[in-house]
Amino acid sequence: MADVGNSQTRQHMLSPSAWNRYETCPRMYWLSRQKLPRKAGMAASLGTVVHASIEDLLLTDYSHIGNDQDNWLPREGERLLKERWEEEKEIFMNTPRRPMWKEEKWKEAKRHQKGGIIMLLDHIGIQGLDHDRITGALWRKVQKHAIAVEGELKTRNGRLMGRLDLLLADVDSDGNMVGWLVADLKTGRTPDRELKSEVNRQLRLYRDILLDNNEDHPPVRTEGWYTLNSSKWPAIGDNVLEQAYQAWEKTQPTAIPMQPTPGPHSCGGFCDWKAWCPHWWNWRFENGTLHKDDFSDAVVLLHEFDSNSGSAVIELCEPFEDGIRAIPTGVKKSARFDGRGKEALQEVLDSEHQGPLFLGSIMTTQNAWRIGHWCDVLPWKPIPDDIEYQKQ
């Protein structure tokens, strides 16, 4: 059995996603570790549901299904998917910082789960089989190839870790195990020509932790399995452990906020922590792009709000003192809060927050700016540079 790592006293541990975050912007990484309100998202929840249901299919004991019995797996897959869907929906709805739960994504979840099953069958050499025709014996064969399913993968010193989706046996035509395959299920967009460099590095890190933990390992390969179109993408390249340990050193917890690297690829991409970061809007203000996009972030004062209609008057602010203070500009905008955006505003008002608000991704294409279910509505609480911060 593969050794996926020893348990150790909790210390600073680096995962591939935290590593990527650090490389994108050290401040983003630092903020993500300050116990600030986590943001739920439909894409991430859909991924969790699909992952969990495939893992359930691999781990459940189906010995009561006869060797020749077919016409059961699609129904069983859907049952497990539904269970996980409801479980995830509850977690999502209990996360205060969340957009709208989209029931219509259920069909997508089914398609992704099916894509995962296609790839598992392909792994044992079966293509194009109608899933109604999967027998008990065939599924047990698939299950037998799974050496580990959804486990925490850690280095022996406890510094590097990752969530291993599937560790599968590669077998030859006589059924002898000739290697291990680390397969990472991906419900995101399929790559164009090759894996994105950060995904490639993530998979190689899993591979290299396994190699390091298991001296007598067989050949190990690693692939990203994209459930959307059942395509498998190999991650090939040098050992990344040394690089990962260097990143571990640099990412050790600090009370002083880490350096920000504002720019189009960091603040302009996805950063969930803008309400606590003074740098994105300073950067935008200085390069003249503040409030200029069709979907813009803003720090505002709320002057009027009708909780029935959701209509409001907001005043735009500009950064002062490196973005740590907000200066009202006198520019007032009509705005409309609706759906989850309106609820979130009501929650902030009920918390008796005084002062500016952070509004993320406001739709600015109409006269009345729209703050809908996709928007962040948060108290604006920038954390200053160079001052020790106490986690809440």
Instruction: Tell me how far, at minimum, the Cβ of 337 lies from ligand SF4, in Å.
Output: 23
221-231: b or e for each residue (b if 16 or more CB lie within 10 Å)?
Answer: ebbbbbbeebb
Instruction: Pick the binder of ligand SF4 from 279, 291, 340, 370 (CB under 6 A).
Output: 279
Give yes or no for a contact between 16 and 78, defined as CB atoms under 8 angstroms apart.
no
Q: Which is nearer to ligand SF4, 31 or 58 (CB)?
A: 31
What distance in Å separates the CA atoms of residue 129 and residue 82, rounded to the nearest whole number?
23
Instruction: Tell me how far, at minimum, the Cβ of 14 lies from ligand SF4, in Å.
Output: 18
Site for ligand SF4 in 135-174 (CB under 6 A): none
Instruction: Tell me how far, at minimum, the Cβ of 386 lies from ligand SF4, in Å.
Output: 15
In the sheet that 146-154 helps form, which strands lie side by side, from edge to edge? 146-154, 161-171, 177-186, 220-226, 231-234
Instruction: Tell me how far, at minimum, the Cβ of 297 lies from ligand SF4, in Å.
Output: 9
DSSP 290: T
Instruction: Tell me how far, at minimum, the Cβ of 156 lies from ligand SF4, in Å.
Output: 33
Stretch that binds ligand SF4, among 167-175, 265-273, 327-335, 361-369 (CB under 6 A): 265-273
Instruction: Pick the binder of ligand SF4 from 4, 164, 277, 312 (CB under 6 A).
Output: 277
374-384: b or e for each residue (b if 16 or more CB lie within 10 Å)?
Answer: bbbbbebebbe
Q: Which is nearer to ligand SF4, 28 or 168 (CB)?
A: 28
Instruction: Tell me how far, at minimum, the Cβ of 63 lies from ligand SF4, in Å.
Output: 51
In sign, the C-alpha dihedral spanning 127, 130, 131, 132 is negative
Site for ligand SF4 in 4-43 (CB under 6 A): 25, 27-28, 31
Both tokens of 156, joined, read 């022996």
| Binding status of residue 267 toward ligand SF4 by CB under 6 A | yes
Instruction: Pick the binder of ligand SF4 from 65, 153, 258, 271 (CB under 6 A).
Output: 271
Amino acid at the residue 304? E
Instruction: Pick the binder of ligand SF4 from 260, 310, 341, 382 (CB under 6 A).
Output: 260
Give strand pairing partners of 97: 39
